[in-house]
Amino acid sequence: MVQDDKSLLTRLNQHGVEFVIIGGVCGIMHGTTLVTTDLDVCCRFTPSNLRRLESAVKDLHPIHRLTANKLPFELTDELCHALMNVYLRTDLGKLDCLGSVKGVGDYEQVLKHSVVFQLSYGNFRILDLDTLITSKEALGRARDLEAVRQLRAVKERNERGQT
């Protein structure tokens, strides 16, 4: 399966899902050269937003990729009120939807620390550079610390360009 972030992002936008791009794809948008194998977003975990998410991926054979029995992604009213994160595998690749970001907070906090990023296929909210660095530092995994190193270099380059 090939990861198709463009198509996943387009679907989320078309269905009105409230989300902010975080993680590796966000880092790439800021200018890192790291490779990522999934699309990480922070979503508003309300029943209406989760239903929009479900609608956006429904025809992509979504399954909960971190469950032992790989259940299909089918929401119930009970699930809409209980879910905190959703980790999906779809026909277009992996989509991880988080209700909060380590080192930042819940969706509302993530939204406050986001900026609009324009692509040829739409405008998307992404974590701002400083907040992405904070979140990667909080995660502390080797790949996140490598991202921090690259993100700091991007920040320095940006600051030199502005002075």
Question: What local confidence, expressed as pLDDT, does residue 31 receive?
Answer: 93
Counting as low any pLDDT under 70, the low residues of the chain are 1, 162-163
As a whole number of angstroms, the distance between CA 160 and CA 28 comes to: 20
The CATH number for 5-162, chosen from 3.20.20.70, 3.30.980.10, 3.30.460.40, 3.40.50.970, is: 3.30.460.40
Is residue 121 within 8 Å of residue 8, measured between CB atoms? no
Tokens of 40: 């990480």
Look at residue 163 in the predicted model and tell me its pLDDT: 53
Confidence at residue 2, expressed as pLDDT on a 0 to 100 scale = 84
pLDDT of residue 35: 86
The answer to whether 81 and 8 are in contact (CB under 8 A) is: no
Q: What burial class does residue 81 get, using C-beta atoms within 10 Å of its C-beta: 0-12 exposed, 13-18 middle, 19+ buried?
A: exposed
